[in-house]
Amino acid sequence: APSTPGDCFSVAIEAVRIAVRYRTPVYILSDTYLGNSSEPWMIPKVDDLPEIDPKFASEVNHDNGFMPYLRNEDLARPWAIPGTPGLEHRLGGLEKEDVSGDISYDSENHERMTELRAKKIERIAESIPHLEVDDPDGADLLVLGWGSTYGSIEAAARRVRRSGDKVATAHIRHLNPLPSNTGEVIKSYSKVLVPELNTGQLTLVLRARYLVNAECYAKVQGHPIGAAELEEAIRERL
């Protein structure tokens, strides 16, 4: 999820990196607030952008021929350009047999493939950055956001700190899987406030996964959360 208008570009690059490396669909979660916002943004040089190598299969990877479901260390399958001599394989929406890619109606294979896909998504956490916390004063309250709440959270935190109160902030960019240190971060604070422009979806995930008493500050009015109202919410909890 991008946090600013300019971040939308970087998030798109990151989405492609994950999709290509792990052979998985990736969703970018944005909203109207970001779509209608603007900010100064330096157009990058193409040569400075990170390389994304699909590592297309070029040769048979098994004694019995090309195995389109033979997974690598990321649990990603090989990717062959259609029509490559010797690498022809079946495509379609039916369940495939592990390794061979043959159509399978076996229930145990279905269970294994479901577990493999889940493990592959979990493994993405190994290649995404840890959740970073801005906590200059040693606060008891962490304001944890995602998406377009970033600006309001940072502005509200600056106002609170200027008056001498302590508050920590962090912003989640990768939502599934979450950064591997997310649980460690939120469990280190006695209070966690999660501003969301919905009915509290991320808050529910954090509470269920990490068994923490995270509190949601939700707003579903078609307007962004303002810095002033969030400042008031933070002060109430302090």
Which tens digit of pLDDT belongs to each residue from 140-157?
999 999 999 999 999 999
pLDDT at 21 over 90: yes
| Per-residue confidence (pLDDT) for residue 22, from 0 to 100 | 96
pLDDT interval class at 64 (50, 70, 90)? confident
DSSP state of 69: B
CB 77 within 8 A of CB 70: yes
| Per-residue confidence (pLDDT) for residue 89, from 0 to 100 | 83
CB 13 within 8 A of CB 50: yes
| Per-residue confidence (pLDDT) for residue 101, from 0 to 100 | 87
Secondary structure (3-state) at 112: helix
Q: What is the pLDDT of residues 70-94, one digit of tens each?
A: 999 999 999 999 889 989 887 788 8
Contacts of 126 (CB under 8 A, 6+ apart): 180
| Per-residue confidence (pLDDT) for residue 202, from 0 to 100 | 97
pLDDT at 193 over 90: yes
| Per-residue confidence (pLDDT) for residue 130, from 0 to 100 | 98
Q: Which residue has the higher pLDDT, 69 or 230?
A: 230
| Per-residue confidence (pLDDT) for residue 56, from 0 to 100 | 94
Distance (Å, whole) CA 173 – CA 153: 14
Q: What separation, in Å, do the N-terminal and C-terminal C-alpha atoms of the chain show?
A: 28
The token duo for 208 is 């269920």
| Per-residue confidence (pLDDT) for residue 90, from 0 to 100 | 78
| Per-residue confidence (pLDDT) for residue 128, from 0 to 100 | 96
pLDDT at 65 over 90: no
Mean pLDDT of the chain: 94
Write out the H or E segment, with its range, that includes residue 141: strand 141-146
pLDDT interval class at 203 (50, 70, 90)? very high
Secondary structure (3-state) at 172: strand
* Nearest Cα to Cα of residue 52 among 23, 29, 81: 23
Contacts of 80 (CB under 8 A, 6+ apart): 56, 57, 66, 68, 87, 89
Mean pLDDT to the nearest integer, 192-211: 97
Question: CA dist 219 to 33, 149, 150, Å?
Answer: 13, 11, 14
Mean pLDDT to the nearest integer, 213-223: 95
| Per-residue confidence (pLDDT) for residue 179, from 0 to 100 | 98
Secondary structure (3-state) at 216: strand
pLDDT at 194 over 80: yes
Q: What is the pLDDT of residues 87-133, one digit of tens each?
A: 988 778 888 899 988 899 999 999 999 999 999 999 999 999 999 99
